[in-house]
Every structure is written in structure tokens, then in C-alpha cells.
């Protein structure tokens, strides 16, 4: 479970940035009082146009950046007070996640398993499970730099899931990927839900949201514009399409 | 500690698979001294051989005097003597480069010599032909001694008659002190420079490189403290710095002992490389390498890409070069001020060890000042890595 309350993130603006943004404000609020809850066994989608604050919110949940104020509870752990414990519960994946190109999948996975304090037997069991599931045996000892994008994404998925996290954070996970590779991610998100994990993912692709999510929140310019179930969203739509409704909500606010 | 070691182990593996790292941090330091020493020796011996084989063309105008001296000189190999009628022709021949040095005997040369006077023998030359001039002057000095002997024999006197006393040089100083004064700073400087270069590529690769490749976010979502990440990576940077310096030392040792090179230059370097010097150099190099890592990490953390970090750090080489150059200067010694200046203090400490007048208190101060600087730079590195504005820039 993820519980976010009154989350605020301010970034200091340099004089150059103030000039570029045509503002005299010394700080910019990337996230401004956002609250939502993601339940275990359900897929929560964070929607918003580019620069809405989605990535910043997900980075705060994943402890990469510290909130200016507000609170985040991940699987019962206060992310701000105990970030290291929270990280052990989180798997994090983005569409642009990089991998160590000079290492092999075996080495990368062992590295992340060790950092997550996994014992050898559990690690090997989890690793082999994903090797079978994603058909990775042929390239498990090949250097990542010599792999195709699809192969790399499979390694990224396994790296995210190797320590069996209860909470999985996906930041625009299919961005820039071809259809076949994106399909692997979508399957992974569904598998996480079926395993009872808490899943949050950001996107601006409505078809993906329609296909996957149970709950959704829409944010724009750091502010929460909508939060509710997908079912309620569909029921209360004032336009014909999900995309049209998303645009309407963003424009009206 | 376990997480620090996990990170360090991964970074070692990652870096050792990088060709750029292997070439710049292992191959170049290992080969630089054998290549330089080989080249210097080759160039020196080839130049010496060339010089020895070179023929010198000397013109002369006897001006009606005896040719005894010319006959003596003409017996020496590689010297060709050509007679000219007068000094004008001799000048023209020198300017036309058919001869490089000219001898012009005064019209009363023989008479004056026989009467115990000092006749003139003029030397004609162009300033650019200093080497040939030097050779001819050396021959004439020998003739001068011969003529003096002949004159002394003619009056039945010993050579000592015209030399009331002789000066004998007895240098009671240590050769090492002289070496230390003029060249003592050079050797440690090379190892410092390699240590700095050895630290640079890993520092850039492990922070700016990781940002550029997009792996830093993933690492930050693992249950590892930022302090542990910095320490793990710092171990690798420091080790590679020391490794580069060690490989340079190994290359030098190999050149001196197994490449059959001899001569004063080699003996001088061998004389410098005492176990005491190497031991002290390493003791000082460890905190210095940590200090190098500590100044490189914040730059690398701040940079967006490998290229940006490299463009900022490469000019910092001057930080190593400048203090070291001051250390080369004769008269600049390790004292209570210089022992606090990083890099310069290491060079001067080594210089004092080579000179055999090392003050262990000052070397101790040098070591502890480097430890303090290293600690300070580690603190700054951790702080900078903790700033999300830098990491996610």
C-alpha cells in the first residue's frame, strides 16, 4: 500500500531559470499538496501531461528525492523517516532505465540482489524464474552493451523484480519502446497485480491506462485534479473518449 | 561495510572491462618509463655516434709559418685540413660552408714562439658552428700543452715552473644531496601525476558516467545509504590512482634492471629509488589519492555527462603540475609551511629523503595534513552526492 498526503516538492530556481521561465519566484512547486492512496492488488495510474509532476511524485515515493513537506507511507514504512527500509520494499523501473553495459545480466542481477541482502538460494530461484518467464537463457551471459533494446528491457524488468518488492513503481515504463517490448512491461504490471503487489505507474497514454488501471489520479502543474477508481471515471465522463475526458479535466483546471 | 564492498567489487569489475580504463590507467603507466628511457637512450647514443662519425673541415692560412702544428692535427681521424692563401679567402670559405673553422697563423708566429713570446693564432668561425668550434678548440688546447712542454724543455725547466700552485677539487658532499637539489622533485612528481590520472577516469565514469547512462536512479532506489555508495566508489578511485602510480614504478624498475641500460642517468635514478623513499611515497600517496578522489567526485557528481566532467577535470591537472614545479626549484625545502601544501609537500618530502636530510617530524606533519585534507574532501564528496540537485541535474 502507498499513502501519499499533502505532498509538496519545491525546487529552488536559479536566476537563469527565473529568466527562462519568465518569473520572479525563487522557488517552483513541482508538486503542490497531492494526496492519494494506492491499494495492494490494484493498479494505480498517475496521469498528466509532460511536466505535470508525475516523475517528481514517483521519485519521492521511491526516495530518490526528498519531499519539501507532506508524508508518504510505503507498505507501512514512513519513506521520509526510514528511507532505507522503504527502498527494500520498492521496485523501480522507468522507460529510460539504464543498465551497466559492460556487465552481463547474471552480474547485474547478482549486484542488485546483494544490495538488497538476498540470500543465494532465494536469488537463484527468483533469477531462474524470470529467465524462464522472459525467455532470457540465451543472453544471460552476454554483455548488456551487445544486446537489443528488447533484451535490455527484459533485464531491467528482472532487475526491478529480483528482490520481490511489495511495491512496484513504473515511471512511463513503455516510453520509447517498441510494441513487443512494451507488451512485456504490460504483462509484468498485470502479473504484479495478480501477485497482490501495490503497483503505481505514470503515463500519458490513455489506451495503456484503460487496459491496466483500477484507480487513477490526474495531476497537472503539480496539483491533483482528479482521484478515484477507473470505474467511477468512466461512469462520470462528460466526453466520448477517455482521452477527451483527460484533456477536458486538464484544460478546465 | 558489506554494502561498500559489494559496490566496490562491482565497480572494479565494470571498470576493468573498459578498454579506455585499461589503456589509460594500466597500459600507459606501465609502458611510459620503458618507452621514455628507451627513447632517451636511443636518441642519446645515436646522436653521440653521429657526432663521433662526423668529419670536421678546417681551413688554415700558414702565412709563411711552419706547418708542424697542422701536420700534428691532420693525423687525428675525422678532421680534414685545407690550406688557403689568405684570411679573406678563408672567411669566404667559412661563409660558404666548405669549412666550418679557420686557423690563421700570425706572420711572426714561429719567431715569437722561439723567442718565448706569445704569438697569435686566430680562430675564424660562424657562431652557429659551436660544436665544430668546440672540437677544434679542444685539439688546440692539446697543442697548447705540447708547445708549452717543448718550450719548457728548451730552457731545461719543468712544467711546474709556470704553475706556482694547482687547485684540486675535493667534493666531500653526498652525491644524493646534489641529485636531490636539482632532480629530486622530478621522480615523485611522475608518480603523483599518474596517481591523479589514475583517479580521474574512474571518478568520472562512476558518477557522471552513471548519470549519463541512467543507472544512478536505479542505484538510489536500493536499500543502500548514499554514504556507502560514495565510500564504495571512492575505494575504487583511490585504488586505481595507486595502481597507476605503482605500475609506473614497476615500469621504471623493469627499465632500470632488465633492459640493459647503463650510464650516469640510470645510476642517478637507481640511486634515488631507495626502499625508504618508495615506502614513504606510498604512505603519503594513500591520503593524497583519497584527496584526489575527494576533489574529483563533487565535480563528477555535478556534471551531466562524462564529457562535461572530463572538460572540467582535465584542466585541474594544473593543480598537480604547479605545486610540483615549485618543488623542483632548488632552495624550496620541506618546512613548517610547505608541509601543509598538498602535492608540494609530498614532492618536497621525497626530495628531502633523496637528499638524505629528511626531518621525520615534517614528514609526519605532511602525512597528517594530507589525512585531514582527505577527510575534508570525503566529507564534501558525501555532501555533494547527497544533494539531489546535483545527482538529478
Last residue of a domain, one of B128, B162, B196: B162
CB A87 within 8 A of CB B228: no
**Helices assigned H by DSSP within B55-96:** 68-74, 87-95
Pick the CATH number of A1-89+169-176+201-253 from 3.40.50.1000, 1.10.230.10, 2.40.30.170, 3.40.50.300: 3.40.50.300
Sign of CA dihedral A91, A83, A96, A228: positive
Domain assignment of residue B45, yes or no? no
Q: What is the ipTM of this complex?
A: 0.87
Chain B contact set for A11 (CB, 8 A): 389
Strand B56-61, strand B101-105: pairing:
parallel
Which distant-in-sequence residues (6+ apart) come within 8 Å of B310 by Cβ? B200, B204
For residue B221, give the nearest of A63, A101, A117 by CB distance: A63
B155 and B181 both lie in a single domain: no
Q: What's the CA gap between B376 and B310, in Å, rounded?
A: 23
CB B149 within 8 A of CB B131: no
Neighbours of A24 (CB within 10 A): 8
Long-range CB contacts (within 8 A, 24+) of A123-130: A123/A162, A126/A161, A126/A162, A126/A163, A126/A164, A127/A158, A127/A162, A130/A157, A130/A158, A130/A161, A130/A162
B14 and B88 both lie in a single domain: no
CB B83 within 8 A of CB B149: no
Cross-chain Cβ contact B10/A84 below 8 Å: no
B198 and B282 both lie in a single domain: yes
Chain B nearest C-alpha distance from A228 (Å): 28
pLDDT for residue B179? 64
Going by C-alpha positions, the residue among A205, A208, A206, A204 that lies closest to residue A189 is: A208
pLDDT tens for each residue of A35-47: 999 988 999 999 8
Domain assignment of residue B202, yes or no? yes
Domain assignment of residue B169, yes or no? no
pLDDT tens for each residue of A48-103: 888 888 889 999 999 988 999 999 999 889 999 999 999 999 999 876 668 899 99
Strand B56-61, strand A43-47: pairing:
unpaired
CB B268 within 8 A of CB B177: no
- Environment class of residue A221 by beta-carbon count within 10 Å: exposed (0-12), middle (13-18) or buried (19+)? middle
Chain B nearest C-alpha distance from A140 (Å): 17
Cross-chain Cβ contact A115/B222 below 8 Å: yes
Intervals of chain B under pLDDT 50: none
Q: What's the CA gap between A147 and A154, in Å, rounded?
A: 11
Q: Which of B223, B225, B390 to mutate to test the interface with A (most CBs of A within 10 A)?
A: B223
B83 and B8 both lie in a single domain: no
Q: What's the CA gap between B83 and B88, in Å, rounded?
A: 13
Q: Which residues pair with B58 in a beta bridge?
A: B81, B101
Q: What's the CA gap between A9 and B191, in Å, rounded?
A: 48
Helices (H) and strands (E) in chain A, counts: 10, 10
Going by C-alpha positions, the residue among B314, B250, B288, B282 that lies closest to residue B377 is: B288
- Environment class of residue A64 by beta-carbon count within 10 Å: exposed (0-12), middle (13-18) or buried (19+)? buried
SS3 B162: helix
Chain A contact set for B224 (CB, 8 A): 84, 87, 115
B92 and B124 both lie in a single domain: yes
Range of the domain at B121: 53-162
pLDDT for residue B127? 84
Chain A contact set for B223 (CB, 8 A): 84-85, 87-88, 115-117
- Taking 70 as the threshold, does the pLDDT of residue A206 lie above it? yes
Q: What's the CA gap between A91 and B117, in Å, rounded?
A: 105
For residue B223, give the nearest of A65, A66, A84 by CB distance: A84
B228 and B349 both lie in a single domain: yes
Chain B nearest C-alpha distance from A205 (Å): 23
Across A28-37, A231-240, B18-27, least confident range: B18-27
- Taking 70 as the threshold, does the pLDDT of residue A21 lie above it? yes
pLDDT for residue B184? 64
Give chain B's domain count.
2
Q: What's the CA gap between B321 and B194, in Å, rounded?
A: 11
Question: Whats the size of chain A, residue-wise?
Answer: 253
Last residue of a domain, one of B162, B188, B217: B162
B156 and B236 both lie in a single domain: no
Chain A nearest C-alpha distance from B221 (Å): 6
H/E element, A10? strand A2-12
H/E element, B42? helix B28-53
pLDDT for residue A171? 85
pLDDT for residue B183? 63
Chain B nearest C-alpha distance from A59 (Å): 9
Chain A contact set for B213 (CB, 8 A): 98-101
Cross-chain Cβ contact A63/B217 below 8 Å: no
Average pLDDT, chain A: 87
CB A31 within 8 A of CB A9: yes
Q: Where are the domains of chain A?
A: 1-89+169-176+201-253
pLDDT for residue B116? 84
Domain assignment of residue B170, yes or no? no
Chain B nearest C-alpha distance from A159 (Å): 9
Cross-chain Cβ contact B3/A12 below 8 Å: no
B112 and B229 both lie in a single domain: no
Last residue of a domain, one of B135, B162, B189: B162
pLDDT for residue B234? 94
Domain assignment of residue B42, yes or no? no
pLDDT for residue B260? 65
B26 and B93 both lie in a single domain: no
Cross-chain Cβ contact A117/B223 below 8 Å: yes
Q: What's the CA gap between B63 and B54, in Å, rounded?
A: 28
B156 and B215 both lie in a single domain: no
pLDDT tens for each residue of B86-118: 889 999 999 998 999 999 999 999 899 888 888
Domain assignment of residue B374, yes or no? yes
The beta strands (E) that lie in chain B are given as 56-61, 79-83, 101-105, 121-125
Domain assignment of residue B46, yes or no? no
Q: Which of B13, B15, B218, B390 to mutate to test the interface with A (most CBs of A within 10 A)?
A: B218
Cross-chain Cβ contact B221/A90 below 8 Å: yes
- Taking 70 as the threshold, does the pLDDT of residue A199 lie above it? yes
Q: What's the CA gap between B340 and B344, in Å, rounded?
A: 9
Cα of first residue to Cα of last residue in chain A, in angstroms, is: 29
Phi and psi at residue A7, in whole multiples of 5°?
-75, 130
CB A117 within 8 A of CB A148: no
Domain assignment of residue B250, yes or no? yes
pLDDT for residue A173? 77
B216 and B359 both lie in a single domain: yes
- Taking 90 as the threshold, does the pLDDT of residue A138 lie above it? no
Q: Kindly identify which residue of chain A lies nearest to residue B216, measuring between CA atoms.
A: A98
Q: Domain of B91: which CATH number?
A: 3.40.1710.10
B235 and B368 both lie in a single domain: yes
Q: Which of A56, A60, A98, A149 to mutate to test the interface with B (most CBs of B within 10 A)?
A: A98
Chain A contact set for B8 (CB, 8 A): none
- Taking 70 as the threshold, does the pLDDT of residue A26 lie above it? yes
Q: What's the CA gap between B82 and B63, in Å, rounded?
A: 14
pLDDT tens for each residue of A90-121: 999 876 668 899 999 999 999 999 999 999 99
Contact of B3 with chain A, judged by CB distance below 8 Å, is answered with yes
Q: What's the CA gap between B215 and B207, in Å, rounded?
A: 10
CB B281 within 8 A of CB B350: yes
pLDDT tens for each residue of B208-252: 988 888 888 889 889 999 999 999 999 999 999 999 989 888 888
Amino acid at each position: 500500500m502507498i499513502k501519499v498526503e499533502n505532498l509538496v516538492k519545491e525546487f529552488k530556481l536559479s536566476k537563469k531559470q527565473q529568466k527562462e521561465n519568465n518569473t520572479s519566484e525563487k522557488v517552483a512547486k513541482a508538486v503542490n499538496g497531492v494526496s492519494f492512496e494506492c491499494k495492494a492488488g490494484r493498479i494505480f495510474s498517475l496521469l498528466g501531461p509532460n511536466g505535470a509532476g508525475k516523475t517528481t511524485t514517483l521519485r519521492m515515493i521511491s526516495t530518490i528525492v526528498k519531499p519539501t513537506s507532506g508524508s508518504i507511507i510505503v507498505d507501512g514504512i514512513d519513506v521520509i523517516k526510514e528511507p532505507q527500509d522503504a527502498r527494500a520494499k520498492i521496485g523501480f523501473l522507468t522507460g529510460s532505465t539504464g543498465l551497466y553495459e559492460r556487465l552481463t545480466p547474471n552480474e547485474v542481477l547478482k549486484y542488485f540482489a546483494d544490495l538488497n541482502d538476498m540470500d543465494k538460494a532465494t536469488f537463484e530461484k527468483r533469477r531462474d524464474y524470470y529467465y524462464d518467464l522472459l525467455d532470457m537463457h540465451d543472453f544471460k551471459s552476454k554483455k548488456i552493451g551487445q544486446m537489443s533494446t528488447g533484451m535490455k528491457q527484459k533485464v531491467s524488468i528482472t532487475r526491478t523484480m529480483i528482490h520481490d518488492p511489495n511495491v512496484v513503481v513504473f515511471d512511463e515504463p513503455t516510453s520509447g519502446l517498441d510494441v513487443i517490448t512494451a507488451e512485456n512491461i504490460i504483462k509484468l504490471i498485470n502479473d504484479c497485480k495478480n501477485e497482490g503487489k501495490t503497483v503505481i505507474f505514470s503515463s500519458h497514454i490513455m489506451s495503456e491506462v484503460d487496459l491496466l488501471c483500477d484507480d487513477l489520479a490526474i495531476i497537472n502543474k503539480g496539483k491533483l485534479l482528479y482521484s478515484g477508481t477507473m470505474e467511477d471515471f468512466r461512469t462520470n465522463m462528460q466526453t466520448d473518449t477517455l482521452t477527451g475526458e483527460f484533456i477536458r479535466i486538464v484544460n478546465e483546471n | 561495510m558489506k554494502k561498500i564492498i559489494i559496490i566496490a567489487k562491482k565497480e572494479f569489475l565494470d571498470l576493468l572491462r573498459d578498454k579506455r580504463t585499461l589503456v589509460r590507467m594500466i597500459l600507459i603507466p606501465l609502458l611510459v618509463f620503458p618507452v621514455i628511457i628507451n627513447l632517451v637512450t636511443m636518441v642519446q647514443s645515436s646522436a653521440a655516434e653521429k657526432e663521433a662519425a662526423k668529419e670536421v673541415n678546417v681551413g688554415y692560412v700558414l702565412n709563411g709559418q711552419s706547418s708542424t702544428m697542422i701536420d700534428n692535427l691532420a693525423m687525428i681521424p675525422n678532421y680534414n685540413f685545407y690550406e688557403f692563401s689568405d684570411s679573406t679567402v678563408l672567411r669566404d670559405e667559412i661563409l660558404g660552408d666548405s669549412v666550418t673553422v679557420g686557423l690563421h697563423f700570425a706572420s711572426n708566429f714561429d719567431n715569437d714562439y722561439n723567442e718565448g713570446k706569445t704569438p697569435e693564432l686566430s680562430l675564424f668561425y660562424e657562431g652557429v658552428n659551436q660544436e665544430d668550434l668546440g672540437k677544434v678548440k679542444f685539439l688546440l688546447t692539446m697543442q697548447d700543452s705540447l708547445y708549452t712542454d717543448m718550450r719548457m724543455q728548451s730552457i731545461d725547466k719543468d712544467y711546474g715552473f709556470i704553475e706556482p700552485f694547482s687547485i684540486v677539487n675535493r667534493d666531500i658532499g653526498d652525491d644524493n644531496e646534489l641529485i636531490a637539489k636539482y632532480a629530486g622533485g622530478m621522480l615523485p612528481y611522475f608518480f603523483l601525476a599518474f596517481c591523479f590520472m589514475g583517479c580521474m577516469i574512474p571518478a568520472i565514469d562512476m558518477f557522471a558516467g552513471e548519470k549519463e547512462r541512467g543507472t544512478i536512479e536505479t542505484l538510489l532506489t536500493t536499500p543502500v545509504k548514499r554514504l556507502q555508495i560514495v565510500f564504495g566508489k571512492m575505494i575504487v578511485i583511490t585504488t586505481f590512482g595507486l595502481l597507476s602510480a605503482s605500475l609506473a614504478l614497476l615500469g621504471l624498475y623493469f627499465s632500470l634492471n632488465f633492459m640493459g641500460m647503463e650510464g650516469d642517468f640510470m645510476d642517478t635514478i637507481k640511486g634515488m629509488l631507495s626502499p625508504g623513499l618508495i615506502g614513504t611515497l606510498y604512505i603519503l600517496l594513500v591520503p593524497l589519492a583519497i584527496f584526489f578522489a575527494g576533489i574529483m567526485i563533487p565535480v563528477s557528481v555535478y556534471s551531466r555527462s562524462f564529457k562535461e566532467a572530463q572538460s572540467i577535470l582535465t584542466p585541474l591537472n594544473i593543480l598537480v603540475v604547479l605545486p610540483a614545479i615549485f618543488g623542483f626549484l632548488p632552495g624550496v625545502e620541506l618546512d613548517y609551511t610547505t608541509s601543509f601544501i598538498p602535492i608540494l609537500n609530498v614532492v618536497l618530502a621525497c626530495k628531502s629523503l633523496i637528499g638524505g636530510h629528511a626531518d621525520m617530524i615534517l614528514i609526519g606533519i605532511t602525512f597528517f595534513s594530507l589525512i585531514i585534507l582527505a577527510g575534508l574532501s570525503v566529507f564534501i564528496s558525501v555532501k555533494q552526492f547527497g544533494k539531489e540537485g546535483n545527482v538529478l541535474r
